[in-house]
Protein backbone atom coordinates (compact mmCIF):
# COMPACT_ATOMS: atom_id res chain seq x y z
CA UNK A 1 0.00 0.00 0.00
CA UNK A 2 1.55 3.31 -0.98
CA UNK A 3 2.23 5.92 1.68
CA UNK A 4 -0.19 8.81 1.40
CA UNK A 5 1.06 12.31 2.07
CA UNK A 6 -0.07 13.90 5.28
CA UNK A 7 -2.10 17.01 4.59
CA UNK A 8 -3.12 19.85 6.82
CA UNK A 9 -6.52 20.57 5.25
CA UNK A 10 -8.41 22.32 8.03
CA UNK A 11 -11.60 22.54 5.93
CA UNK A 12 -12.40 18.86 6.60
CA UNK A 13 -12.72 19.42 10.32
CA UNK A 14 -15.31 21.04 12.53
CA UNK A 15 -15.19 24.76 13.16
CA UNK A 16 -13.42 24.24 16.51
CA UNK A 17 -10.93 21.83 15.01
CA UNK A 18 -10.41 24.17 12.07
CA UNK A 19 -9.57 27.03 14.43
CA UNK A 20 -7.06 24.86 16.29
CA UNK A 21 -5.57 23.69 13.03
CA UNK A 22 -5.19 27.24 11.75
CA UNK A 23 -3.55 28.30 15.01
CA UNK A 24 -1.15 25.36 14.78
CA UNK A 25 -0.26 26.25 11.19
CA UNK A 26 0.53 29.84 12.14
CA UNK A 27 2.68 28.61 15.03
CA UNK A 28 4.57 26.21 12.78
CA UNK A 29 5.19 28.95 10.22
CA UNK A 30 6.54 31.24 12.96
CA UNK A 31 8.86 28.50 14.23
CA UNK A 32 10.12 27.84 10.72
CA UNK A 33 10.77 31.55 10.25
CA UNK A 34 12.71 31.72 13.52
CA UNK A 35 14.76 28.67 12.57
CA UNK A 36 15.53 30.26 9.22
CA UNK A 37 16.75 33.40 10.95
CA UNK A 38 18.98 31.49 13.38
CA UNK A 39 20.64 29.41 10.66
CA UNK A 40 23.29 30.76 8.28
CA UNK A 41 22.16 32.15 4.96
CA UNK A 42 23.66 30.45 1.93
CA UNK A 43 23.49 33.72 0.01
CA UNK A 44 25.43 36.18 2.15
CA UNK A 45 26.68 34.00 5.02
CA UNK A 46 25.08 36.19 7.70
CA UNK A 47 24.18 34.54 10.98
CA UNK A 48 22.08 35.79 13.85
CA UNK A 49 23.91 36.35 17.12
CA UNK A 50 22.91 37.68 20.51
CA UNK A 51 23.41 41.39 20.99
CA UNK A 52 22.38 42.81 24.34
CA UNK A 53 18.68 42.05 24.79
CA UNK A 54 18.12 41.26 21.11
CA UNK A 55 19.83 39.87 18.04
CA UNK A 56 21.87 41.12 15.12
CA UNK A 57 23.16 39.61 11.90
CA UNK A 58 26.87 39.35 11.20
CA UNK A 59 29.01 37.79 8.49
CA UNK A 60 31.55 35.40 10.07
CA UNK A 61 35.24 35.96 9.44
CA UNK A 62 35.82 32.66 7.53
CA UNK A 63 32.93 33.35 5.12
CA UNK A 64 34.15 36.86 4.38
CA UNK A 65 37.71 35.62 3.81
CA UNK A 66 36.45 32.89 1.47
CA UNK A 67 34.44 35.48 -0.47
CA UNK A 68 37.50 37.73 -0.85
CA UNK A 69 39.57 34.86 -2.25
CA UNK A 70 36.84 33.91 -4.73
CA UNK A 71 36.33 37.52 -5.85
CA UNK A 72 40.05 38.10 -6.34
CA UNK A 73 40.29 34.82 -8.26
CA UNK A 74 37.34 35.75 -10.47
CA UNK A 75 38.85 39.17 -11.21
CA UNK A 76 42.17 37.58 -12.12
CA UNK A 77 44.00 39.61 -9.47
CA UNK A 78 46.08 37.18 -7.47
CA UNK A 79 49.00 39.45 -6.67
CA UNK A 80 47.87 40.28 -3.11
CA UNK A 81 46.06 37.16 -1.89
CA UNK A 82 45.06 33.98 -3.70
CA UNK A 83 44.21 30.33 -3.41
CA UNK A 84 47.02 27.84 -3.72
CA UNK A 85 46.51 25.43 -6.68
CA UNK A 86 45.44 22.58 -4.37
CA UNK A 87 42.39 24.63 -3.31
CA UNK A 88 42.95 23.90 0.37
CA UNK A 89 45.46 26.64 1.16
CA UNK A 90 45.61 30.37 0.56
CA UNK A 91 48.59 32.67 0.53
CA UNK A 92 48.98 36.39 1.31
CA UNK A 93 51.60 37.45 -1.23
CA UNK A 94 51.81 41.14 -0.33
CA UNK A 95 50.97 41.88 3.33
CA UNK A 96 51.55 45.62 2.85
CA UNK A 97 48.97 45.99 0.07
CA UNK A 98 46.69 43.57 1.89
CA UNK A 99 46.61 45.93 4.88
CA UNK A 100 46.18 49.01 2.69
CA UNK A 101 43.56 47.76 0.22
CA UNK A 102 41.81 44.64 1.51
CA UNK A 103 41.54 44.95 5.30
CA UNK A 104 39.86 48.41 5.38
CA UNK A 105 37.11 47.23 3.01
CA UNK A 106 36.22 43.88 4.54
CA UNK A 107 37.55 43.57 8.09
CA UNK A 108 37.54 45.50 11.34
CA UNK A 109 41.20 44.76 11.95
CA UNK A 110 43.74 47.47 11.20
CA UNK A 111 47.01 45.53 11.00
CA UNK A 112 48.30 42.30 9.53
CA UNK A 113 49.07 40.96 13.00
CA UNK A 114 45.42 41.44 13.97
CA UNK A 115 44.39 39.55 10.84
CA UNK A 116 46.76 36.71 11.75
CA UNK A 117 45.31 36.71 15.26
CA UNK A 118 41.84 36.18 13.79
CA UNK A 119 43.14 33.27 11.75
CA UNK A 120 44.52 31.73 14.93
CA UNK A 121 41.25 32.29 16.81
CA UNK A 122 39.35 30.38 14.12
CA UNK A 123 41.82 27.51 14.05
CA UNK A 124 43.71 28.28 10.84
CA UNK A 125 47.24 26.94 10.70
CA UNK A 126 50.29 27.89 8.69
CA UNK A 127 51.94 25.34 6.45
CA UNK A 128 55.62 24.72 7.08
CA UNK A 129 56.39 22.27 4.28
CA UNK A 130 57.13 22.92 0.61
CA UNK A 131 55.38 23.73 -1.75
CA UNK A 132 52.75 25.42 0.46
CA UNK A 133 55.20 26.87 2.97
CA UNK A 134 53.81 30.05 4.54
CA UNK A 135 50.25 29.46 3.31
CA UNK A 136 47.28 29.16 5.68
CA UNK A 137 44.81 26.30 5.78
CA UNK A 138 41.84 24.83 7.64
CA UNK A 139 40.13 21.49 7.14
CA UNK A 140 36.80 23.23 6.46
CA UNK A 141 38.17 26.04 4.32
CA UNK A 142 38.10 24.72 0.74
CA UNK A 143 37.83 26.50 -2.59
CA UNK A 144 34.44 26.00 -4.23
CA UNK A 145 32.66 25.16 -0.96
CA UNK A 146 32.01 28.42 0.83
CA UNK A 147 29.09 26.94 2.77
CA UNK A 148 31.53 24.61 4.53
CA UNK A 149 33.33 27.65 5.94
CA UNK A 150 30.24 28.42 8.05
CA UNK A 151 31.10 25.39 10.17
CA UNK A 152 34.35 27.01 11.30
CA UNK A 153 33.92 28.37 14.81
CA UNK A 154 36.10 30.21 17.26
CA UNK A 155 38.42 28.17 19.44
CA UNK A 156 37.35 28.50 23.05
CA UNK A 157 40.10 29.54 25.41
CA UNK A 158 40.73 27.09 28.28
CA UNK A 159 39.28 28.25 31.60
CA UNK A 160 41.75 29.94 33.90
CA UNK A 161 42.46 27.97 37.05
CA UNK A 162 41.88 29.90 40.23
CA UNK A 163 44.88 29.96 42.54
CA UNK A 164 44.26 28.47 45.97
CA UNK A 165 45.17 30.34 49.13
CA UNK A 166 48.05 27.94 49.76
CA UNK A 167 49.43 28.40 46.26
CA UNK A 168 49.06 32.19 46.54
CA UNK A 169 50.99 32.20 49.83
CA UNK A 170 53.73 30.05 48.30
CA UNK A 171 53.97 32.38 45.30
CA UNK A 172 54.23 35.41 47.59
CA UNK A 173 56.96 33.75 49.64
CA UNK A 174 58.89 32.88 46.50
CA UNK A 175 58.56 36.48 45.32
CA UNK A 176 60.01 37.71 48.62
CA UNK A 177 62.92 35.28 48.37
CA UNK A 178 63.70 36.50 44.86
CA UNK A 179 63.65 40.10 46.11
CA UNK A 180 66.04 39.26 48.96
CA UNK A 181 68.36 37.38 46.61
CA UNK A 182 68.36 40.31 44.19
CA UNK A 183 69.23 42.69 47.01
CA UNK A 184 72.10 40.50 48.18
CA UNK A 185 73.43 40.18 44.63
CA UNK A 186 73.31 43.96 44.19
CA UNK A 187 75.08 44.50 47.52
CA UNK A 188 77.82 41.99 46.71
CA UNK A 189 78.44 43.61 43.33
CA UNK A 190 79.32 46.94 44.98
CA UNK A 191 82.86 47.77 46.22
CA UNK A 192 83.32 46.74 49.82
CA UNK A 193 84.03 50.28 51.02
CA UNK A 194 80.67 51.51 49.64
CA UNK A 195 78.54 48.81 51.23
CA UNK A 196 76.16 49.80 53.95
CA UNK A 197 76.99 47.92 57.13
CA UNK A 198 73.78 46.77 58.76
CA UNK A 199 74.53 46.57 62.48
CA UNK A 200 72.01 45.41 65.06
CA UNK A 201 70.39 48.15 67.07
CA UNK A 202 72.26 48.60 70.40
CA UNK A 203 70.45 47.84 73.59
CA UNK A 204 69.65 51.22 75.20
CA UNK A 205 70.98 51.96 78.70
CA UNK A 206 68.87 53.69 81.27
CA UNK A 207 69.99 57.07 82.55
CA UNK A 208 70.60 55.64 86.04
CA UNK A 209 72.86 52.92 84.64
CA UNK A 210 74.79 55.43 82.55
CA UNK A 211 75.36 57.74 85.54
CA UNK A 212 76.49 54.78 87.70
CA UNK A 213 79.01 53.61 85.06
CA UNK A 214 80.45 57.11 84.68
CA UNK A 215 80.72 57.53 88.46
CA UNK A 216 82.52 54.18 88.59
CA UNK A 217 85.21 55.50 86.27
CA UNK A 218 84.06 53.97 82.99
CA UNK A 219 84.92 56.34 80.12
CA UNK A 220 81.93 57.72 78.31
CA UNK A 221 83.34 56.53 74.95
CA UNK A 222 83.14 52.96 76.19
CA UNK A 223 79.38 53.30 76.35
CA UNK A 224 79.24 53.66 72.56
CA UNK A 225 78.22 50.21 71.24
CA UNK A 226 80.24 50.65 68.01
CA UNK A 227 83.13 53.01 68.89
CA UNK A 228 85.54 51.72 66.25
CA UNK A 229 82.99 51.84 63.39
CA UNK A 230 82.50 55.57 63.37
CA UNK A 231 84.49 57.30 60.64
CA UNK A 232 86.58 54.21 59.93
CA UNK A 233 87.32 52.50 56.65
CA UNK A 234 85.92 48.97 56.85
CA UNK A 235 87.40 47.81 53.55
CA UNK A 236 89.76 44.81 53.52
CA UNK A 237 92.65 47.30 53.28
CA UNK A 238 91.79 48.84 56.65
CA UNK A 239 94.18 48.05 59.47
CA UNK A 240 92.70 45.46 61.82
CA UNK A 241 95.43 46.26 64.35
CA UNK A 242 94.32 49.87 64.41
CA UNK A 243 90.81 48.84 65.40
CA UNK A 244 92.12 46.40 67.98
CA UNK A 245 94.44 48.98 69.55
CA UNK A 246 91.60 51.47 69.76
CA UNK A 247 89.44 48.96 71.60
CA UNK A 248 92.29 48.17 73.97
CA UNK A 249 92.93 51.85 74.70
CA UNK A 250 89.27 52.38 75.57
CA UNK A 251 89.20 49.65 78.19
CA UNK A 252 92.68 50.44 79.56
CA UNK A 253 91.81 54.04 80.39
CATH of the domain at 124: 1.10.10.10
| Domains held by the chain: number | 3
Burial of 95 (0-12, 13-18, 19+ CB in 10 A): middle
Mark whether 44 and 71 lie in a shared domain: no
pLDDT of 210: 64
81 in the same domain as 45: no
* Within-domain flag for 106: yes
- Residue 31 and residue 104 share a domain: no
Question: Quick one: 114 and 145 in the same domain?
Answer: yes
pTM above 0.75, yes or no: no
Q: Identify the domain boundary among 57, 76, 95.
A: 57
Separation CA 239–CA 228 (nearest Å)? 12
Q: Tell me, what's the pLDDT at 32? A: 45
Does a structural domain hold residue 195?
Answer: no
CB 150 within 8 A of CB 40: yes
Question: Which stretches of the chain score pLDDT less than 50?
Answer: 1-2, 4-9, 11-13, 20, 24-40, 228, 234, 236-237, 239
Residues with Cβ within 8 Å of 32's Cβ and at least 6 positions away in sequence, in order, are none
User: What is the predicted pLDDT for the residue at 25?
Assistant: 47
**Cβ-based neighbours of 66, under 8 Å, separated by 6 or more:** 141, 146, 149
Q: Which pLDDT tens digit goes with each residue over 66-80?
A: 999 999 999 888 899
Strands 136-137 and 125-126 turn out to be: antiparallel
Confidence at residue 172, expressed as pLDDT on a 0 to 100 scale: 81
Q: Specify if 192 maps to a domain.
A: no
- Together in a domain, 66 and 50: no
* Residues 75 and 141 occupy one common structural domain: yes
Q: In the prediction, which pLDDT does 131 show?
A: 86
Would 69 be classed as within a structural domain? Answer: yes
The last residue of one of the domains, among 85, 119, 151, is 151
Q: Is 145 helix (H, G, I), strand (E, B) or coil?
A: coil
Residues 94 and 140 in one domain: yes
45 lies in which domain range?
10-57
In a domain? residue 37? yes
Amino acid sequence: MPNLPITSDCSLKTEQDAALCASSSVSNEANEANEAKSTPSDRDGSVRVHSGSGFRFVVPFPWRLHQILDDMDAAGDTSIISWVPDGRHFHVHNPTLFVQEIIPKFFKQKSFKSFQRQLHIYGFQRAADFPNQGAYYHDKFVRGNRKLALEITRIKAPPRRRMTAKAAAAALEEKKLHAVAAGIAKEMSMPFARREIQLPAPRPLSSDTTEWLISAGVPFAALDPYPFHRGKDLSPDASILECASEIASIFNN
